[in-house]
Amino acid sequence: MTELDGRHFFNCFITGAAKIFDDQNYINKINVFPVADADTGTNLASTMRSVVETSVVHDDLKSTALEIADAALAGARGNSGIIFAQFLYGFSYEVANKEKIDTLDFVLAAKKAVPFVYEAVAHPVEGTMVSVIKEWAEYLFEKKEKYTGFYELLAAGLKQAHKSLKETTKKMDKLARARVVDAGAKGFVDFLEGMVEYLRTGKVPNPEILKTAVIETGDDAINHDDITFRYCTEALIQGENLSREKLKSVLAGFGDSMVIAGSANKLRIHVHTDTPWLLFEKVGKLGSVIAQKVDDMVMQNEVASNARFKTALVTDSSA
């Protein structure tokens, strides 16, 4: 396949999403950064679910890419889910406005999407999903003249992604101590494996099955670190001419693990804080908070590390 249209692109996406669904429990188990709350697989699967459920597929690639990015942003969960959504947003913004794109169009859009990812994260850390995305995109760019077929290009890129994933353990002490790779990066590589599988076989999972596939909750964790800020806090903000810098300034004093993804009309935020109620009050002055979620990471970590019962009651603040 030397050209990719909107429908083939969506098929690549949902095949990648299926790989994340299949691997989500393992991704949860190796989740030690930024905190060991055993939910990275769950968050990525939830982000994928939003895309599969709400995207409208078009014949032309640009329109489909925009649909996928918007759905991912609306349904993104957790640090990794929002970073992934920001990569999709960057790709959709930069990809050529064509019904079909070739490998060069794809490579250029992937490379240009990388700064969007780094811009979204307040303090990007090498050895995580962001560096694996960067190294994968840089490799594709280096090989842009060598491959004209999408399968050959992305299969070669997948090998580089696996290499980058393996190296995450060496780049971060937390991962080295736990003897694991970065969980978010593992999810991204799983996604790439799905894309390559579709391009190789032409087989695509039934989207209806993915819409009802079980999203796991973390039941194990390899590490039990101290948590600096208790609540994983997220919000989707809508408005006109939203300022990323102004929002970043407001959020800076609330905690850590800040991620801001999206456009001037819709932004998804993620912060670890002790005062989510005050955070929502502050950001509500910058735009309309159309969705919000708070997870107690201390409780999540305790349940994941020291489960005593087979059954638990789980609540979700987004309900």
Supply the pLDDT for residue 197: 96
Q: Which fold has domain 4-212?
A: 1.25.40
Most confident listed range (26-40, 80-94, 213-227): 80-94
Residue 133, pLDDT above cutoff 60: yes
Return residue ranges of the chain for CATH 3.30.70.1150. 231-305
Return residue ranges of the chain for CATH 1.25.40.340. 4-212
Q: What is the DSSP string of the chain?
A: ---EEHHHHHHHHHHHHHHHHHHHHHHHHT--SS---S-HHHHHHHHHHHHHHHPPP-SSHHHHHHHHHHHHHHH--HHHHHHHHHHHHHHHHHS-SSSEE-HHHHHHHHHHHHHHHHHHBSS--TTSHHHHHHHHHHHHHHTTTT--SHHHHHHHHHHHHHHHHHHHHHH-HHHHHHT---HHHHHHHHHHHHHHHHHHH-----HHHHHHSPPP-----S-----SS-EEEEEEEE-SS--HHHHHHHHTTTEEEEEEEE-SSEEEEEEEES-HHHHHHHHTTTSEEEEEEEEEHHHHHHHHHS---S------TT-
Residue 126, pLDDT above cutoff 70: yes
Mean pLDDT of the 284-310 span: 74
Q: Which fold has domain 231-305?
A: Alpha-Beta Plaits (3.30.70)
The pLDDT-based confidence of 218 (bands split at 50, 70, 90) is low
